[in-house]
Amino acid sequence: MDVTRREFLAGAGRLGLAVGGVCAALSSPAWLKALGRGARDVYAATKLDELARSSPLARYWISTETEGDHCSACHVSEVTYDPAHRHSEALIKCLLCAQACVLRAGERGRCRARMNVSGEMRSLVYGRPITIHVDPIEKKPFYHFLPGSAAYSLATSGCPLHCRFCQNWEISQIAPEDYDARYTAPDVIASSAVERRAPVIAFTYNEPTVFTEYMLDIAAAAKTQGLRCVLVSCGFMNEQPLSDMCDALDAIKVDLKGFSPDFYRKVCSAELQPVLRSIRQISRRGTHLELVNLVVPTLNDSEAMLSDLCDWVAGELGPDVPVHFTRFHPEYQLLNLSPTPVAALERARSVAMSKGIHYAYVGNVPGHEGNHTYCPGCGKMVIQRSGFLIGEVHITHGSCEFCGTKIAGVWS
């Protein structure tokens, strides 16, 4: 079942409910939801005009109009590139993520969050969060980063991917003009996190890469207030923006959605290789990294695929990157599938441990023994969890209290 944006807008009442539950103050106003479809489309077009006029310049793009040698960057694979050639119209290429959108004036990228406005790339989502919520950091999930911390979590609209199982599709698959999000400056976000007593700001829910400029500015403001910042991402960004994120952020969680190019193409409208490149880059930079693999019945749960995934993780990243195998629940366009059997998650965890991965978890199954952290030295439980709740903790100065083995992570 494909849901077009138009059909989706037609269900705006439901949308208001879904996101309003998270952050009523920032969701579509009631009068907008009450409008007919035609009037809502006119409203959206006007709103988009307004956004296009008021949005700040984006980073990470090149244009055929820019002085210098920029055009050659788009023609890298052409054997006979003529440096003297001219384009009949001005084009922009976005360098933020691996979708590599090329946009004519007035067009938007696949994420809907960036637009060619009169030959310049503008970020339509800068300063426009549509949901803000304080969550336990375990919900992201981060299990090896300041356990038990409150994470002030925010998202804008937009995502470069289109995952058929997306749990946050009401946010990720909509356009910025579908919401009446008021402008919120980066330092206001940081102060608000302090007021809510959250030591961590999490960029999450949609794909935060689409609001990289806002994220980096918030992270700079957060640093001055002594806060840490973490990112929950699909890992589809390009190397330069990711390098800037690694400079600014304290931890990154990447969804490694399946270990097959075919799965990425058919189920996520994306590619596997850029994600692997990002994971490797984060690991080499030494930024705290955790991985999630949502195990979707029949699509990415084969023994062979899980085994290849674990081989790659163990071989490329070593044994210390936590890997969460999380349970799928029927969502969005995959309502026909059943939730992941717990036995499949247990099997995935066993495969990971048999490949030498030290911290493999069963996620989205509260109370399961695979929620806890075990010491790789003595095998004893060092962090007890049930879902997002923390129980006993037996880690002191980053080491197991029982045998002194170092437990990988950021603990203070």
Residues that bind ligand SF4 (CB under 6 A): 94, 96-97, 99-101, 109-111, 113-114, 160, 210
405 binds Zn ion (CB under 5 A): yes
Min CB(94)–ligand SF4 separation in Å: 3
For Zn ion, the binding residues in 103-132 under the rule CB under 5 A are none
Instruction: CB nearer to ligand SF4: give 102 or 337.
Output: 102
How many residues of this chain bind Zn ion (CB under 5 A)? 8
Q: CA angle, 230 as apex, 179 and 56 as ends, to 5°? A: 45
Q: Which stretch binds Zn ion (CB under 5 A): 171-179, 204-212, 213-221, 370-378?
A: 370-378
- Residue nearest ligand SF4, Cβ-based: 109
* Residue 97 interface partner, choices ligand SF4, Zn ion, none, CB cut-off 5-8 Å depending on type: ligand SF4
* Residue 119 interface partner, choices Zn ion, ligand SF4, none, CB cut-off 5-8 Å depending on type: none
Min CB(123)–Zn ion separation in Å: 24
Min CB(226)–ligand SF4 separation in Å: 31
* Residue 71 interface partner, choices ligand SF4, Zn ion, none, CB cut-off 5-8 Å depending on type: Zn ion
How far apart, in whole angstroms, are the C-alpha atoms of residue 129 and residue 154?
A: 6
Q: How many residues does the chain have?
A: 412
Cα 251 to chain centroid, rounded: 12
Q: CA angle, 154 as apex, 210 and 149 as ends, to 5°? A: 130
Helix (H, G, I), strand (E, B) or coil at 71: helix
**Site of tokens 């390009």:** 238
Which letter does DSSP use for residue 89 in this model? S
Closest CA to 408 of 361, 358, 363, 352: 358
Instruction: CB nearer to Zn ion: give 223 or 380.
Output: 380
Instruction: CB nearer to ligand SF4: give 172 or 326.
Output: 172
* Residue 111 interface partner, choices ligand SF4, Zn ion, none, CB cut-off 5-8 Å depending on type: ligand SF4
For Zn ion, the binding residues in 25-64 under the rule CB under 5 A are none
Instruction: CB nearer to ligand SF4: give 241 or 376.
Output: 241
71 binds Zn ion (CB under 5 A): yes
Instruction: CB nearer to Zn ion: give 71 or 291.
Output: 71
Instruction: CB nearer to Zn ion: give 402 or 411.
Output: 402
375 binds Zn ion (CB under 5 A): yes
Min CB(309)–ligand SF4 separation in Å: 24
Instruction: CB nearer to Zn ion: give 314 or 375.
Output: 375
**Site of tokens 């309502």:** 335
* Residue 403 interface partner, choices Zn ion, ligand SF4, none, CB cut-off 5-8 Å depending on type: Zn ion
Provide CB contacts within 8 A for 23, sequence distance 6+: 130, 131, 132, 133
* Residue 160 interface partner, choices Zn ion, ligand SF4, none, CB cut-off 5-8 Å depending on type: ligand SF4
Helix (H, G, I), strand (E, B) or coil at 186: helix
Helix (H, G, I), strand (E, B) or coil at 325: strand
Whole-angstrom CA distances from 342 to 68, 142, 325 are 56, 21, 10
* Residue 101 interface partner, choices Zn ion, ligand SF4, none, CB cut-off 5-8 Å depending on type: ligand SF4
**Site of tokens 């990228």:** 109
Three state DSSP letters for 240-284: HHHHHHHHHCCEEEEECCCCCHHHHHHHHCCCHHHHHHHHHHHHH
Helices (H), 160-224: 169-172, 186-195, 212-224
Residues of this chain that interact with Zn ion (CB under 5 A) are 71, 375, 377-378, 400, 402-403, 405
